[in-house]
Amino acid sequence: MSAPVLDEGALGPKGWPMGRRQVTIDDTTLRDGEQSAGVAFSLAEKIDIASRLDRLGVPELEIGIPAMGAHERESIRTLAGLGLEARLLVWSRMRREDINDCLGLGVGMADLSIPVSRQQIKLKLKRDEAWVLATINAQVREATAAGLSVCVGMEDASRAERGFLLRVAEAAQAAGAERIRFADTVGVLEPFGVLDTIKALRAATDLDIEMHAHDDLGLATANTLAAAMAGATHLNTTVNGLGERAGNAALEEVVVGLRQLYGIETGVDLREFPVLSSRVESASGEPVGWRKSLVGKRVFSHEAGIHVDGLIKDLANYQGVDPAVVGRRHQFILGKHSGSRAVMSVFAEMGVELDQRAATLLLLNIRQFVDQHKRAPETSDLMALYHDMAGTFPHAAQRRQTPVTVC
């Protein structure tokens, strides 16, 4: 399964030249996502997550680290035996014994990772740049001879010298690699630097280029989109942005961003994404913030009267992203900043028709409720307020025969 090919000379909505190329999502929820501190997916959870990603049309999945042990390898074999349409990858250090662990698992591609910054080469590996290049030459050749397709993972690429990155790409291509992965391992890049660096790599190599971004500065999605604009062919993501420290680029943000900002379709359909998002949230034990873009509980909720009034008149007045693309819908929340039109709309959804006087009276009680309880009233609270008011002003509201459930 591959992403659609863009037409030669096509322009995205912002006027960016698209070119004739592919942008492929390589989701690493089951590898880098699971590397989040304290996260451990059960086999059943891995099967469910992988299957749901596959049904969304995600074309590549990175599903584990074989060198972690026999239990991990058995999980990888199980996932490989599901018959998924997605291409499957595993992650490995660029060491002979680790590469051997990648064989015989039913997975045809491995990301062989090696540090490329002076910081990590000298202070982590106690080696030099010549050793890195020699290792790439030897281990990539061994891996490809054993039948693996290889992506050379350039760990800590964001802190490496550009000249050395170009030499790494050259060595990887000469040894038979299919792809290089540019890893912003510690999340220190910004989009303009990404654009410049990936453009330089694109001009220097025929290899596929994958972007792997971390969110330490809150820029993982922005950096991933910049890489796509610069010519990256593959993009690492995770569901909900799960990942080490501040996480990785979020699958949902990257897919929607590529489509809405640049007219790039990845072949990923997110209309069933809320179920997957919830599944990853529960399996990881990492709660999704209420204001997390696209998937947070409140991101398509509206309270301010001016916004609700505008949305009722035309959704485009206050809709930057259509919630339907991620299987969501707008929700009106009644609170301190609500107006009477919002009260009338919400109660209509609950099967209660209010006139202007009733809505105004209820709004006063709703504001008092919020001040007292420090939260928005739920459906049961609203109905209690309505019944209290209706007892005092019996002609101010009328209940319909067929109530409608409010979302």
Integer Cα distance of 125 and 118 in angstroms: 10
Per-residue pLDDT reduced to its tens digit, 91-111: 999 999 999 999 999 999 999
> Quick check: 395 pLDDT over 60?
no
Supply the pTM of this predicted model: 0.86
- Superfamily of chain region 24-284: Aldolase class I (3.20.20.70)
Between these two residues, 313 and 241, which has the higher pLDDT value? 241
Is the four-CA dihedral 190, 18, 171, 65 of positive or negative sign?
A: positive
Helices and strands in the chain: count of H runs, count of E runs: 14, 12
Integer Cα distance of 163 and 160 in angstroms: 9
Residue 211: how many CA atoms within 13 Å on its side-chain side? Answer: 40
DSSP conformation letters of 5-30 = PPPTT-B-TT--B--S---EEEE-II
* Residue 287 near residue 296, CB atoms below 8 Å: no
Integer Cα distance of 401 and 108 in angstroms: 61
* Residue 371 near residue 336, CB atoms below 8 Å: yes
Integer Cα distance of 96 and 24 in angstroms: 28
Per-residue pLDDT reduced to its tens digit, 282-328: 999 999 998 999 999 988 887 777 887 788 788 888 888 999 999 99
Nearest CA among 192, 206, 273, 204 for reference residue 237: 273
> Quick check: 16 pLDDT over 90?
no
> Quick check: 251 pLDDT over 50?
yes
Integer Cα distance of 221 and 241 in angstroms: 9
DSSP annotation of 33: I
Q: Phi then psi for 110, rounded to 5 degrees?
A: -130, 140
Greatest extent of the chain over all pairs of C-alpha atoms, in Å: 86
Per-residue pLDDT reduced to its tens digit, 38-56: 999 999 999 999 999 999 9
| Listed range (138-152, 246-260, 331-345) with the worst mean pLDDT | 331-345
* Mean pLDDT of the 259-280 span: 96
Q: Phi then psi for 34, rounded to 5 degrees?
A: -75, -15
What is the pLDDT, as a whole number, of residue 298? 84
Integer Cα distance of 5 and 135 in angstroms: 34
Tokens encoding 84: 């998924």
Task: Tell me the average pLDDT of the chain.
Answer: 90
Residues of the chain with CATH 3.20.20.70: 24-284
N-terminal to C-terminal alpha carbon distance within the chain? 36
The b/e string for 327-344 (b: 16+ C-beta within 10 A; e otherwise) is bbebbbbbbebbbbbbbb
